[in-house]
Amino acid sequence: MENKTIDTNISIILGRLTREPEFSHVGEKKTALCKFSIACNNGTENADFFDVECWGKLAEICNQYLDKGNQTLATGRLYKNNWKDKETLKTRSKIILKAFNVQFVGGRKDNPQSQQTEEQQFQNMDFKNPENDEIPF
């Protein structure tokens, strides 16, 4: 009997958003997509930067509450996106975290002057991608 191992592709990234989230609807079903970048302080003078994307209801929630500079924890699967550069015709690639869970470590984006108790309600919120959300690929 052959010994089979199961590989796991789960990554957790904690850092701060480097820019405002980019929100769009894609595909025939107009599925929500939110893209953002997280910078992680790795203890040296250089930071590590990670591109993150989330889909469906999670994308809508991230777009509503995330803001540049917010500390955020994203959990998901890494995947490699390949494309051909139109100018050089060379194959290019980028590693992206496809998040299925995002925790907001900072306060709310839409009302920074909100009362302390309301802000505390949104700190460390844990939004998981609903199982019935369809990802269009």
* Percent of the chain whose pLDDT exceeds 70: 76
Tell me how far apart the alpha carbons of residues 53 and 42 are, in angstroms, rounded to a whole number.
22
Residue 73 within any structural domain of the chain: yes
Q: How many CB atoms lie within 10 A of CB 113?
A: 6
pLDDT of 75 over the 80 cut = yes
Per-residue exposure over 31-61, b if at least 16 CB sit within 10 Å of its own CB, e if not: bbbbbbbbbeeeeeeeeeebebbbbbebbbb
- What is the CATH classification number for the domain harbouring 61? 2.40.50.140
pLDDT of residue 109: 52
**Which tens digit of pLDDT belongs to each residue from 8-35?**
899 999 999 999 999 999 999 999 999 9
* pLDDT at residue number 116: 40
Average pLDDT over residues 54-71: 94
Q: Domain limits at 116?
A: 11-127
Location of structure tokens 């953002």: 36
Query: How many distinct structural domains can be found in the chain?
Result: 1
Q: Is 30 within a domain?
A: yes
- For CA atoms 101, 103, 108, 109, the dihedral sign is negative
